[in-house]
């Protein structure tokens, strides 16, 4: 197979991959702030949670699921505008600037030079929040016009529909895509869509969430991994089916 050369002499197969990024935990880390916003609503409902408790209760779930969980725990209905309250508190905790995850700015510059606009973000977050977080992190320019929210199609990870919709809108096939994820639900969604997966694990000791995902511990390694992703084995239909049927939050 012939090769192309991108930024900093990075070489990859002649078939250029299409990179699909998750947002939180991959490009930026706002999970603590999001959990803090939900915990604030919990306090209004009479529920006080420590950090470990709220992380276990909220991380990786849709906001409505979290509100329903707190209602079950307290026997109290959330405030009518609970989502708006949680999001406002989250933005207050974040402030005006978000630091991208270490190495992300470098990785995106390298990938933009090699892939051009063959990158997008597909997230369970609402579109407005995606735009705000990426803008505050100073990396929105890499994804202008290529942000895909689960809210727009009513399908959230681990459902693979979000990734399949993003690929369709960008005019690429699942086989061209490599998804950069960190969560079990994201890995399941990507494998269920028949897409190759690179799983970011800040702790090198962590293994893949599911067979078929390739782990990496540092974002500075990402450009070469993405460019070489067409050399990865295609996602086996059995793995795709298992991820689609067996994904858990």
Q: What is the pLDDT of residue 203?
A: 83
Q: What gap in Å lies between CA 103 and CA 169, rounded to an integer?
A: 28
The stretch 229-238 carries a mean pLDDT of: 80
Q: For the beta carbon of residue 102, count every other beta carbon within 10 angstroms.
A: 12
Phi, psi of 21 (to 5 degrees): -100, 140
Q: pTM to 2 decimals?
A: 0.82
Helix, strand or coil for residue 224? helix
Contact 36, 89 (CB under 8 A): yes
d(C-alpha 215, C-alpha 222), whole Å: 10
Across 11-19, average pLDDT: 76
Place of tokens 């909220």: 58
DSSP 44-85: HTT----HHHHHHHHTTS-HHHHHHHHHHHHS-PPPTTHHHH
Average pLDDT on 234-249 reads 60
| Beta strand residue intervals within 76-233, DSSP E | 119-123, 147-149, 177-181, 196-200, 213-216
- Per-range mean pLDDT, top range of 176-180, 199-203, 231-235: 176-180
Name the more confident of 236 and 232: 232
Residue 249 is predicted with a pLDDT of 34
What is the overall mean pLDDT for the chain? 90
Question: Are residues 146 and 123 in contact, defined by beta-carbon separation less than 8 angstroms?
Answer: no
Given a cut of 80, is residue 236 above it in pLDDT? no
Q: What digits encode the pLDDT tens for the residues 35-70? A: 999 999 999 999 999 999 998 899 768 889 999 999
Query: Considering only 80-89, 103-112, 199-208, 235-244, which range has the smallest mean pLDDT?
Result: 235-244
233 against 116, higher pLDDT: 116
Give the C-alpha distances (Å, rounded to integers) separating 9 from 1, 224, 226.
18, 10, 14
User: What average pLDDT does the segment 14-41 reach?
Assistant: 92
197-219, pLDDT tens digit by residue?
999 998 888 889 999 899 999 99
Query: Looking at the predicted structure, is the pLDDT value of residue 85 above 90?
Result: yes
């Amino acid at each position: 197979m012939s090769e192309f050369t991108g930024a900093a002499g990075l070489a990859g197969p002649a078939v250029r991959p299409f990179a699909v990024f998750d947002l939180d935990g991959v490009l930026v880390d706002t999970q603590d702030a999001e959990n803090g916003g939900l915990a604030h609503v919990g306090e209004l409902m009479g529920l006080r949670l420590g950090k470990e408790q709220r992380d276990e209760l909220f991380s990786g779930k849709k906001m409505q699921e979290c509100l329903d969980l707190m209602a079950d725990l307290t026997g109290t209905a959330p405030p009518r505008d609970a989502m708006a309250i949680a999001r406002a508190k989250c933005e207050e905790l974040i402030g005006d600037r978000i630091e991208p995850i270490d190495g992300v700015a470098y990785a995106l510059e390298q990938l933009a030079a090699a892939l051009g606009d063959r990158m997008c973000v597909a997230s369970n977050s609402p579109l407005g929040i995606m735009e705000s977080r990426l803008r505050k992190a100073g990396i929105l320019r890499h994804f202008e016009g290529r942000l895909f929210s689960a809210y727009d199609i009513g399908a959230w990870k681990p459902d693979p529909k979000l990734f399949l919709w993003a690929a369709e809108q960008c005019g690429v096939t699942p086989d061209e895509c490599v998804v950069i994820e960190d969560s079990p639900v994201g890995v399941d969604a990507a494998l269920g869509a028949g897409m190759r997966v690179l799983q970011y694990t800040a702790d090198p000791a962590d293994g893949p969430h599911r067979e078929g995902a390739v782990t990496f511990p540092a974002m500075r390694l990402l450009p070469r991994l993405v460019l070489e992703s067409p050399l990865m084995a295609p996602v086996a239909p059995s793995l795709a089916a298992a991820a689609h049927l067996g994904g858990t939050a």
